[in-house]
Amino acid sequence: MSLHLIIGDKLLSSWSLRAALALEMTGAPYSEELIKLGKPDTRERLLKHSPTGKVPLLQTTRGTIADSLAIAEYLAEQFPSEQLWPSDTFARAQARSACAQMHSGFFAMRNHMPFNLSQDAPLNPVPPEVKVDIERMLALWAECRAAATEEGPYLFGRVSLADAFFAPIAVRLRTYQVKLPAVDEAYVETLYQWPAFKAWQKAGLEELNP
């Protein structure tokens, strides 16, 4: 299978991170193309690959798949032996629900706490709507843990696509120095120690000094 992932800046593109982590979970070989965001020719370059004009994009032998959630589902179906979703039926449904909620919500957190791996200062003051988003996020993580049937430090015990989707949230919480309950801080640290994430973080920070 030939897989080619088109992404934005690793320093700044949270959606690209999700797709890259999902691909790493498959263990499959793939090539990568980075298109710098915010440049005069960015949209033109992206439109050559997909009418969405957005990243990430996954090129396959059958065509191009746009959107991180669609990419994740495609990879889960193409690599069933890797069990990218939790194996338990209810836990799997909860994981999908959590990713869908992340995918379509939490706009206050996204708007006021933009993803940037080099960020290292608290948001001050924290708008009320951001506090609501953070509280809901931590509650969502608790719902996932409650549904888990496997042991381990990730959201559903064993690493899953849910962790790929929440890794950018972990970055926001840490880089904006949000104080967290111990269980959530431990989960953030787990994601920061995930080898696939550490490789992405290293490459992203290197973009500061090309």
pTM given for the model: 0.96
Residue 75 is encoded by which pair of tokens? Answer: 């990879």
Residue 64 is encoded by which pair of tokens? Answer: 């191009």
Along the 210 residues of the chain, how does pLDDT read in single tens digits?
Answer: 799 999 999 999 999 999 999 999 999 999 999 999 999 999 999 999 988 899 999 999 999 999 999 999 999 999 999 999 999 999 999 999 999 999 999 999 999 999 999 999 999 999 999 999 999 999 999 999 999 999 999 999 999 999 999 999 999 999 999 999 999 999 999 999 999 999 999 999 999 987
Q: Would you give the distance in Å from CA 134 to the centre of its chain?
A: 16
For residues 63 and 207, give the distance between their C-alpha atoms in angstroms, rounded to a whole number.
Answer: 30
For residues 99 and 141, give the distance between their C-alpha atoms in angstroms, rounded to a whole number.
Answer: 11
DSSP secondary structure letters along 71-96: HHHHHHHH-GGG--S-SSHHHHHHHH
Q: For 32, list phi and psi in degrees, rounded to 5.
A: -135, 140
Please calculate the CA angle 201-153-157 and round it to the nearest 5 degrees.
Answer: 115
Biggest alpha carbon–alpha carbon distance for the chain: 49
